[in-house]
Amino acid sequence: MNVPLNFLLCGVGGQGIVLASDVLVAVGLLAGLNAKQAEVHGMSQRGGSVVSHVRWGREIYSPIVGWGEADVFIAFEKLEALRNLRFLRPSGLALISTQALEPLTVISGGQVYPDDSRLRAAFAQLTPHAHYLDAESIAAEVGNVRAVNTVLLGALSALLEANSRFAAWAPAPEIWLQVIAERVPSRHLDLNRQAFQAGRNAIAGPR
């Protein structure tokens, strides 16, 4: 733990990436670690690409993660996963939500949205630890597509536990749930608990 653990979250403005990074930071702190977080506001929020950096560790200097240095890579959208591929540390852990949000350059600009085989090949070349999750459908089954980010956090919690490199870092599920509970309005709490558990089940299978 003397070398920090680096997370990179990416996706599209409006997908809840900032909230997910807040949770990640708070989980790290509650687990007794130090944390830093960085994101860019402004233009990126008008439906553009969004990237957020989170680091856990004892002593952390840079608030941002360099290219090739993300131990854990979480993509909320497929095209953004490819766009930010350069951040992933080879053999790192990648969690990719299989949602596709076509940018206007595809809808009306004649450009082509990359197909799944390209996505999977690019990640397969880099790491055996790439996981694809239809988080949108899982959230819909739980009752609200807006819970996608909680589903992904649930999946992430299980992936950290299951990966021998990260197991020592993995906070207990109760810590995640406590942090989520502090951040969502109480009327959405049950939904978010279920979404978190559904994300975990999608990785680990129901217990």
- Given the rule CB under 8 A, which residues bind other proteins? 12-13, 25-26, 29, 34-49, 53, 60-69, 79-80, 82-83, 85-86, 88-90, 102-109, 111-114, 118, 122, 126, 145
Nearer to other proteins, 49 or 163 (CB): 49
Nearer to other proteins, 88 or 160 (CB): 88
Residue 86 carries which DSSP code?
A: G
Q: How far is the CB of 82 from other proteins (least distance, A)?
A: 6
Nearer to other proteins, 52 or 197 (CB): 52
Nearer to other proteins, 59 or 205 (CB): 59
User: To 5 degrees, how large is the angle CA 100–CA 104–CA 107?
Assistant: 75
Q: How far is the CB of 139 from other proteins (least distance, A)?
A: 12
Burial class, 42, CB count within 10 angstroms (exposed 0-12 / middle 13-18 / buried 19+): exposed
- By residue count, the chain amounts to 207
**Are 83 and 49 contacting, i.e. CB atoms less than 8 angstroms apart?**
yes
Q: How far is the CB of 18 from other proteins (least distance, A)?
A: 10
Q: Where are the beta strands (DSSP E) in the chain?
A: 5-12, 34-39, 49-57, 70-75, 88-97, 130-133
Q: How far is the CB of 72 from other proteins (least distance, A)?
A: 15
